[in-house]
Structure 1
Amino acid sequence: MAEKLRKYETLFVIHPDHTDAKDEIVEKISQIIQQDGGEVLKQDDWGMRKLAYPIEKKRQGYYYLMEFAAPAQTPPKLEQTFRIDERIMRFIVVKLDEKYEPETLAA
């Protein structure tokens, strides 16, 4: 039997000087999720937005939200990737309450 998948979402803020690499960053995150047998469920490109407070003397950042289903070992891998990548200003990975059941997502 395959490992149980849980639903998560991640919101990350890309440095405004690196928005040209947005697609590359999103693809990298998607690959990490899929390597562990997970799948990306939703992607939401929020675009350039004003930050609540300046980060690295920047007042804006590029926001991207991704919902995914993955085994428990995937979120720590994502967090490590976010920490290493200097193009990511801030990030958060949150486990959602709902259980992931592929056959019920047809709606």
Structure 2
Amino acid sequence: MAAPAPTYDLTLLLDSTADDDRRKKILADAQALIGQHGTVASTHDWGVRPTTYEVKKHAAAEYHLIQFSSPAPRPLLEELDRTLPITDGVLRYRIIKLKPGIGEVPNLKNATLEDAPASDDVEDER
């Protein structure tokens, strides 16, 4: 029996001063790209939060998490790594491959930094 497709987290920090339409388009484009190569498992809007340090001269960003899986992830990961850094409105992004059996994503929309989960549930390699 084939192993299930790995699950990935795509965390996006979007420019909170950009137009709402621009931020919605970035999210829609990312989800559409993932949909071409795999499946979006869940999306989470964590709202505008302060960053620990300035990112591209911004002290706050709009945080989003997209969980996805793909049976052949390499082309998708390469495309995300190619397009996201050059997309206006994306301040920072990170893609993490999750360990099998990871639980539910916490709702961080109204949480503080002290409420954030530990980072023991991620793998270093894609």
TM-score range, shorter-chain basis?
0.7 to 0.9
CA apart distance, 1:5: 2.7
Q: Per-residue displacement from partner, 1:37-77 (whole Å, max 9, x unpaired)?
A: x1100100001000100122211100000100112221221
Letter of the structure 2 residue corresponding to residue 35 of structure 1: Q
8 Å CA contact 1:12–1:90 kept in 2: the answer is yes
TM-score, normalised to structure 1, is: 0.80
Between the aligned partners of 2:19 and 2:100, the Cα distance in structure 1 is 32
Residue 79 of structure 2 is matched in structure 1 by 77
RMSD over aligned Cα atoms = 1.6
Q: Structure 1 stretches of 5 or more lacking a match?
A: 100-107
Residue 31 of structure 1 is matched in structure 2 by 32
Between the aligned partners of 2:43 and 2:55, the Cα distance in structure 1 is 24
8 Å CA contact 2:46–2:63 kept in 1: the answer is yes
CA apart distance, 1:22: 2.1
TM-score, normalised to structure 2, is: 0.69
8 Å CA contact 2:84–2:93 kept in 1: the answer is yes
SS of residue paired to 1:97 = coil
Structure 1 or 2: larger strand share? 1
Between the aligned partners of 2:93 and 2:50, the Cα distance in structure 1 is 15
SS of residue paired to 2:24 = helix
Letter of the structure 1 residue corresponding to residue 8 of structure 2: Y
The structure whose RCO (Cα within 8 Å, separation 6+) is larger is: 1
Letter of the structure 2 residue corresponding to residue 27 of structure 1: A
Structure 1 or 2: larger helix share? 1
CA apart distance, 1:81: 1.4
- Number of residue pairs matched? 95
Q: Structure 2 stretches of 5 or more lacking a match?
A: 102-126
Relative to structure 1, the CA distance from residue 19 to residue 64 in structure 2 (aligned partners, 3 Å threshold; closer, same or farther) is farther
8 Å CA contact 2:11–2:93 kept in 1: the answer is yes
Relative to structure 1, the CA distance from residue 54 to residue 30 in structure 2 (aligned partners, 3 Å threshold; closer, same or farther) is same
